[in-house]
Amino acid sequence: MLQVSRLNVFYGKSQALRDVSLKVNEKEIVALVGVNGAGKTTLLNTISGLLRPASGSVEFLGKRIDRLAPHKIMNLGICQIPEGRKLFSDMTVGDNLEMGAYSSAAWKRRKETLERVYKVFPVLKERRNQSAKKLSGGERQMVAIGRGLMSNPGLCMFDEPSYGLAPKLFLEVLEVVKQLREQGITILLVEQNVRNTLQIADRAYVLENGHIVLEGKGKDLLQNERVKTAYLGM
Amino acid sequence: MNITRLFTTHRKLLLMGFLILLIAFVLTFPLYGGARTRVLITMLVYAILAMSWAMFSGTTGYMSLAPAAFFGTGIYTTYLLQNHLPLPIIIVAAGLISFVLAVLLGLVTLRLKGIYFTIFTFGLVVFIPNVVTYVEGEVTQHHGWYFNVLDRTIILYTMLGLAVVTVLAIYLIRRSRLGLAMQSIGGNEEAAEHMGIDTTRTKVLTFAISAIFMGAAGAVLAPSLSYSNPTIAYSAFYSFVPIVAAVFGGMGSLQGPIVGGLLFGFLEKTLKVEWNTYFMLGFGIIIVLVILFLPTGMVGLVPILRDKLGGAISKWRKGREGEQHANT
Amino acid sequence: MAEAERLLGLITIGILAGGVYGLLAVGLSLQIGVCRVLNITHGEFLMLGGILTFTFSQLGINPLLAPVIVGPILFGLGFLLQATLFRGVKARVPSPSAFEGNALLAAFGVMYVIQYLARIRFGTQSLPSQYLTQPVPYVGINLAVNLIVGFAIAAALGIAVYLFLTRSRVGKAIRATAEDPPTAELMGVNTNTILAVCFGLGGLLAAVAGTLVSMRTPVSTAMGFNNTVIALIVVTLGGLGSVPGSFIAGIIIGIVSMLVAGLWESVLIVPVYYAMLMVLLLVRPTGILGKK
């Protein structure tokens, strides 16, 4: 479904991604793990079109998207769920969710999509007229996810959903992720919380200093010595 | 003999020769200057305004639109004091009054975000002339200001002296601790604060120092005007031209605003009188083009040109060497 | 008693005139708050709106219908300015923090271009553009019909803009872009288009304000600058990005200007605005209804 090939990305003169290649198949949960500053968000922003790669390509459903503007990429069915703090804090919860359905195809169906999102996160229905800045960390994450779902995406890219969440809440988020996959949405999950993430991932990549250093099945990587020492503290 | 080498080896000699020529020109100017004295005075005025504006706004990134307010205040100071005090003291007084005015304005607005500062300095240019008009009408019943006219040559040399003082002062400030603090504010104000720099004090102080030269320039110019009034003296044009001149020359450097100020002063005095409307139209177009295509100013262009020129010269030289090899 | 009536009259005129200031300020507030351009040309758009209204009225078009033509023309001009000039300035600034300053300078350039092109075409004289000057008696004074109609149109447009920003799809995208452009892009918003729409909308509101002003006073090509100053003061007073704040501030400015002119001296109007602004910003650095 998504094919990233030999991607090189720079910030000014410093290189953030080096020859990164990865693949996400339909209805998979693929994880991309690594420490802060490894280049995970950079990769997502490049796929979304916020950053331009110096070389390499990104293909989605067989079409090159690495030269498209962000809003065009979004319209193809890719959504990025930025970490929970990136809500529009001057707007209500309901308006934030509606912004997710901004693309014209999704806008027409926003009422029914909204009901579906409220079914996943009932608490958001109660809070729909509240200002987004008054929410707790968990609620913010729910709004961020719900806002992403409002575009009826085929591929959903999560950026660090554990950010600012208690461990228990993060496990709930991962449950939601699994549910979404059952509904047919493909998932690319970017995380620092390696153990829990690898447990639910079909396949995973490990990113270090802008390089992919390991890839494999999620469960296999949990047993990998390098992963164990570097990320699981064993 | 090759020209680039002449420049590098005899640079000091050339500079000295250039300076001597310049001084000779300035000293002999009254002999053949005549009507051109006026042009030269205006050029110096804009150079001073542009330099002092760039000293504050160019380094800190806070856009001040106030030059006209301080410049006009300088003119007004001369008008008020001309029958009571000698000119040198009036010039100092004008500088001090502008300094105080800038401190007051800075204390109120420089704590705010940049955009509010800009709006306020802009308002000052409209505020002061209105107040002055009111005071003149109510209190003194005078309409318009008449000046005891001085010989233009004297004004030219005084203005030149002021310009030299301004250059020296700005040069010294840029190299001082204050200059360093200003630069770090321009880079990242929060970081500067964390480094222990009192940012508000630095901003207010440099803003006020830059106002001294603007006020003094107004005071020196006044006796060449014979007539003025609040609307003319505080014309917003005196804010815009120096800013554009500084940006055009390159506001990050010391020489950029001087070059820009001299150039725009010359253009204004030679073109504006006859071609007012079209001059202003062209002025607007030039601003837009400069911002679009030369956002770092003429000074920013120099390294680019030098690179290109240097590259071309060495290429040409290599080509010639190649030819010579082929010949032998 | 007569004194109290006179006061009431002045305040009423101030409120009615202030609605137009509010309308003008809403446009500028959008341009500063969303596009981050301190648009010094705003008053020139008002001037063009007024002059064009007068020109069309010479051709037999009713000034009340003029906004239908003038509005879209100046919307287009604003749209183009943002889509070409300010977008270009943003792409070329040496550092992102330099954008506001460079955009302001570019706006200066545009201000002179608009002003002097208008001078070449329309001259500098005052043009008798008044319309609907019939008096309506009111507590001892006469209010002109144009004053009442002007306020009604300004208020209606203000409410329309408010609803547009809070309810419509594009309006929400404008608010999202104002707050966080990259995240808005991730929602599928083409922020370049949104910024241009926003700037165009600002131009349209200034144009309509120009029509309304032209019904009350003669217009001239030199009227822009003062209106820019007024709009800046109203925006600062009302707080950036607040439609109701702009209108409240506009009405306050309207009342103050009538009182100062009626009871004191009209040359002091701007100094009084300025003093008010100084005091307000010392107490509340974000304006009456400003955020954060």
Break chain A into its structural domains and give their ranges.
Answer: 2-32+46-188
What range defines the domain where residue B211 resides?
36-295
Contact A86 C179 (CB under 8 A): no
Summarised one tens digit per residue, pLDDT across range C221-233 is 999 988 998 998 8
Summarised one tens digit per residue, pLDDT across range C146-200 is 999 999 999 999 999 999 999 999 999 999 999 999 999 999 999 999 999 999 9
Quick one: closest CA in C to A44, which residue? C186
Interface test with C, best of B291, B292, B296, B304 (most C CBs within 10 A): B291
Contact C172 A80 (CB under 8 A): no
DSSP B15-72: HHHHHHHHHHHHHHHHHHHTTHHHHHHHHHHHHHHHHHHIIIIIHH------HHHHHH
Residue C141 DSSP label:
E
CA distance A188 to chain C (A): 16
Q: Give the model's confidence band at C205: pLDDT under 50 very low, under 70 low, under 90 confident, else very high.
A: very high
Quick one: closest CA in B to C280, which residue? B108
Which of the residues in chain B have pLDDT under 70? Answer: 1-11, 31-33, 299-300, 302-313, 315-328
What range defines the domain where residue C183 resides?
18-224
* Number of folded domains that form chain C: 1
Q: At residue C44, what is the residue type? A: E
* Number of folded domains that form chain B: 1
CA distance A225 to chain C (A): 37
Residue C94 DSSP label:
S
Q: Which residues of A touch C (CB under 8 A)?
A: 48-50, 69-71, 74-75, 79-80, 82, 86, 88-91, 95, 98-100, 102-103, 106-107, 147, 151
Residue C135 β-bridge partners: C144
Q: At residue B74, what is the residue type? A: G
**Is C211 within 8 Å of C70 (Cβ atoms)?**
yes
Subunits close to A (at least 3 CB pairs below 8 A) = C
Is residue B11 included in any domain, yes or no? Answer: no
Helix (H, G, I), strand (E, B) or coil at A68: coil
Exposure string over A155-176, b if 16+ CB within 10 A, otherwise e = bbbbbbbbbbbeeebbeebbeb
What are the counts of helices (DSSP H) followed by strands (DSSP E) for chain A? 11, 10
Q: Which CATH architecture has domain A2-32+46-188?
A: 3-Layer(aba) Sandwich (3.40)
User: C262 to each of A125, B128, C14, how far by Cα in Å?
Assistant: 55, 21, 11
Residues in C touching A75 (Cβ below 8 Å): 188
Question: Phi and psi at residue A59, in whole multiples of 5°?
Answer: -120, 140
Residues 6 or more apart whose Cβ sits within 8 Å of residue B198: none
Q: Which residue in B118, B281, B291 is closest to C112 by CB distance?
A: B281
Count of A-C CB contacts under 8 Å:
62
Residues 6 or more apart whose Cβ sits within 8 Å of residue B188: none
Cα-only R_g, chain A = 17
Q: Give the model's confidence band at C292: pLDDT under 50 very low, under 70 low, under 90 confident, else very high.
A: very low
Say what the pLDDT of residue B328 is: 47
Say what the pLDDT of residue A37 is: 83
Say what the pLDDT of residue B130 is: 86
Using alpha carbons, select from B91, B67, B74 the residue that is nearest to residue B132: B74
What are the counts of helices (DSSP H) followed by strands (DSSP E) for chain B? 16, 2
What CATH code is carried by the domain that includes residue B164? 1.10.3470
User: What is the pLDDT of chain C when averaged over all its residues?
Assistant: 90
Summarised one tens digit per residue, pLDDT across range B59-114 is 888 889 999 999 999 999 999 999 999 999 999 999 999 999 999 988 888 877 77
Say what the pLDDT of residue C215 is: 94
Is residue C33 included in any domain, yes or no? Answer: yes
Residue A11 β-bridge partners: A14
Q: How many residues does chain A have?
A: 234
The label of the residue with tokens 């390159």 reads: B250
Is residue B159 included in any domain, yes or no? Answer: yes
Quick one: closest CA in C to B63, which residue? C101
Q: Which residue in A71, A98, A147 is closest to C190 by CB distance?
A: A71
Say what the pLDDT of residue B321 is: 63
Q: How far apart are CA C26 and CA C160, in angstroms?
A: 12
Quick one: closest CA in B to C265, which residue? B134
The label of the residue with tokens 């690898």 reads: A198
Which of the residues in chain A have pLDDT under 70? Answer: 84
Provide the token pair at C206. Answer: 């200034």
Is residue C275 included in any domain, yes or no? Answer: no
Helices B237-249 and B297-327: crossing angle in degrees, nearest 10, is: 20
Strand order across the A186-191 sheet: A78-81, A155-159, A186-191, A29-33, A203-208, A211-217
